[in-house]
Structures are given as structure tokens and as C-alpha cells.
Amino acid sequence: RVFAEKFDLLLGRKTYEIFAAYWPYYDDDTHGGIAKLFNAIGKYVVSRSGDVDTSWSRSRLLRDIADVKRVKEEDGPNLVTQGSTELVHALLANDLVDAMSVFTVPVVLGGGKKLFADGSVPHRFRLAASRVSTSGLLIGHYERVGDIILGDPPPGEDGDQ
């Protein structure tokens, strides 16, 4: 569903470098059309450090969260982020996340990266859609609905946060 709507990728440097080392070398349908899609759309890579090779077609370097805010305000497609934990933390801290799809895989591999950083700014989302695959993968799509409500919910709201 996410890839069915028009979008550009917004990636942190490490994730961008992984994608850029792989996807430009595929243009067939062996990946369900994702290679063609990723190669055709715009790519934004956010990096504060060093040089980043942006030779992958339609790639653009953003240096900071202010650059991300400017792109988000432009009249363009949705921005989709995959991986990019540090970038996601910065997007959440600056209230730049309108929606998120969270994939919960029923496998424990050990420690990992946190989706929400310590000290994250509180945000309120509502579950807009969910699906469970036959293997138990849970996909929850959440949309931003405003500020955190403390105390009794306003009339007409169930208070779920």
C-alpha cells in the first residue's frame, strides 16, 4: 500500500549507501518491481558528515533537519523512510512524521535499535489500518492525530493513545 502511492525516499546516510550499492544494478521485475520503482523516484539522503556519493539517479543531499523541513513543505510526493534509525529519531523529535507503518516480526534475535529514542517528544497517533500475515508478521499503519491528551478524553474520542 505504501509503495502504491506516489512517494520519494528519505534516507539516512548509512541506509542510502546500502540501497545505492544494490538497487541501481537491477531494473527487472525479479524484486516485484521495486527496483524499477526505486530507480525512478527521487531519493533524499540526509547526512551531516563527509561526502556522500549521490550519483544514483534522482538523488539529492540534505545536510540537516532544516533541509528536510523545506523539502516536506514543497509541493511534492510523500516522503517514505526505511530503516535510518537516527533520521527517524530526528524526524520524531521535530514533529515531522505524519504517519508510520510499523512491522512487527515474531522473531527474537537479541538486542537492536530502538524505534523511539530516550527522551522522544510525545506524539499522538491512531491505528488507521492493520494486517497480520499468515506467518504472524503484524503490520500496523498509524496516522498522526494531534497532541497527547492528558486526563479525560474530549467528547467523541475514545482516549486510546
pLDDT of residue 159: 52
pLDDT of residue 156: 66
Model pLDDT for residues 1-25, shown as the tens digit of each residue: 667 889 999 999 999 999 999 999 9
Beta pairing partners, 19:
none
Global pTM reads: 0.84
What would the grid cell of residue 145 be?
A: 492525530
Tell me whether residue 139 is exposed, middle or buried, using C-beta atoms within 10 angstroms of its C-beta: 0 to 12, 13 to 18, 19 or more.
middle
What integer is the mean pLDDT of 121-137? Answer: 92
pLDDT of residue 135: 93
Model pLDDT for residues 27-62, shown as the tens digit of each residue: 776 777 889 999 999 999 999 887 899 999 999 999
Model pLDDT for residues 93-114, shown as the tens digit of each residue: 898 999 999 999 988 888 878 8
**For the stretch 107-122, what's the b/e string if a residue is b when 16 or more beta carbons lie within 10 angstroms of its beta carbon?**
eeeeeeeeeeeeeeee
Whether the Cβ atoms of residue 44 and residue 11 lie closer than 8 Å to each other: yes
Model pLDDT for residues 73-84, shown as the tens digit of each residue: 999 999 999 989
34 phi, psi to nearest 5 deg: -65, -40
Cα angle for residues 9, 19, 65 (degrees, 5° grid): 45
Residue 119 pLDDT > 80: no
**Rg (Cα) of the chain, in Å, rounded?**
17
pLDDT of residue 150: 75
**DSSP letters of 28-74?**
SSTTTTHHHHHHHS-EEEE-SSS-----STTEEEE-SHHHHHHHHHS
What would the grid cell of residue 79 be?
A: 516522503
pLDDT of residue 147: 82
